[in-house]
Amino acid sequence: MGEPYCGAVTADGWELIVAGCLGILVGAFAVAAYWSSQRSMHAVPPAPTPELDDGLVRTLAVLRSAAVVLDPDDTVIRASAPAYSLGLVRDGRIVPAAIRELVEGVRRDGVIRDEELEVPRGPLGAGMLLVQVRVAQVTPRHVVVLAEDMTQARRLEAIRRDFVVNISHELKTPVGALTLLAETVQDAADDPEAVRRFAGRMQTEAVRLSALVHEIIELSRLQVAGALAATTSVDVDAVVREAVDRARTTASAKQVRIDVGTGTGLQVFGNHDLLVTAVRNLVDNAVAYSGEASHVGVGVRLRDQIVEIAVVDEGIGISPKDQERVFERFYRVDPARSRATGGTGLGLSIVKHVAADHGGDVTVWSQQGRGSTFTLRLPVAVAAVPDTPPLRTPPSGVSVFPPAPHQDVPPAHEPATDAGPSGAPDEGEHVHRSAS
């Protein structure tokens, strides 16, 4: 046999070539698989289709009204913060039945509903909200509910309406009296005694009219935002002294003794003149509703960093039903006594606004036949002063500060435990009595 051809590939050579090709294929497949996995790891997943249009979401976000979006099952898919604060949404559902009925009507015929509804303020109690509700279909699947709280606006409208009616009546009374008295004086020109008598009555009505106009202006000024734009540190003892001094003339005419507690050195931030007006009104009320030769006590103490100015009288007291209304403008517990004292019915409204402007409040304890205690409460200006004990004044052992509720009280003239500054009416409602 001859020698093999030198260019021929042996069997072992072919095996090596096949093995190399397989290795290249396996490597290429591995590289391709690696890059494919890397692309899948870094690829951005497709964005899900939003259930609500982005423009609608942005529009609802800028609305002041409470906004709620419902899906076809009336499940809340979006609700603004006011919707929750007003109690319209709870557990993913619309709560008020009246609003749910509007939603059903819109789904039925597609017509926009717009109504003013009275809905419960919460799951408990009898509180109600007045809301303007608008319901509309915004997409084939979604309904939007917009609700505007009108409670405060309607209440202010009612207050303004009542104020106009009351002030018209109150102004008409002295003006009418002056007119009649002037006619009477004219007819009695030949009777000097009658002229003097009717002239005195005209002067009384003129003073009453002047006081009414002054207090209306004062009340309007207090209701303007920023009435206390500039405040200073006010000496509470000086406020009490000045208020009592101004009231002593009226008290002396009735032989009413005003007893004032010892000085405390307490201070509050606010306006001295306004605080004097508030305390003066409380003292005037106490004097007006006290009998002849009785006592009125005024005391000051610090309790839990709150300055309490208490005015106690031994007067006729206030019935529970009157306590609920005496804070209203022009409301009078005893209209006959008010006419006799020349009151306007605005004194305690002024006290309320002065207290609120100073960050405080006013409370009352009262029992018919046993007198009343009014307490003006204001934040102390100097927090380093320790609490002071209740001050007591001489009037027949009457405590300037009524006891806390559920505390046993000895007889005599100690106030009963039905209410007091520490047992104020519910929900911060302050009750007062007006001597005017």
pLDDT at 299: 94
- Show pLDDT as tens, one digit a residue, over the chain (436 residues): 455 555 555 666 777 777 777 778 777 777 777 777 766 666 555 545 556 677 677 777 778 888 999 999 999 998 888 888 888 998 899 999 999 999 999 999 999 999 999 888 777 666 788 999 999 998 888 999 999 989 888 877 777 776 676 666 667 667 777 888 888 888 887 888 888 888 888 887 787 777 777 766 666 666 554 456 567 899 999 999 999 998 888 888 888 999 998 888 999 998 898 899 899 989 988 898 888 888 999 999 999 889 999 999 988 888 877 777 776 666 665 554 445 454 556 778 788 888 888 888 888 888 888 888 899 999 998 654 555 555 443 344 444 554 443 333 333 333 333 333 333 333 333 333 444 4
pLDDT at 169: 62
pLDDT at 34: 72
pLDDT at 316: 84
**CA nearest to 133, candidates 112, 153, 154, 152:** 112
Q: How much is the pTM?
A: 0.51
pLDDT at 417: 34
Domains of the chain: 54-149 (3.30.450.20), 154-224 (1.10.287.130), 229-428 (3.30.565.10)
Question: String of b and e for 190-217 (b: at least 16 CB within 10 Å)?
Answer: eeeeeeeebeeebeebeebbebbeebbe
pLDDT at 52: 64
Helices (H) and strands (E) in the chain, counts: 11, 14
Strand partners, 258: 296
- The answer to whether the CB of 356 falls within 8 A of the CB of 348 is no
Question: Residue 198: in which H helix or E strand, if any?
Answer: helix 192-223
User: Which amino acid, residue 43?
Assistant: A
pLDDT at 366: 86
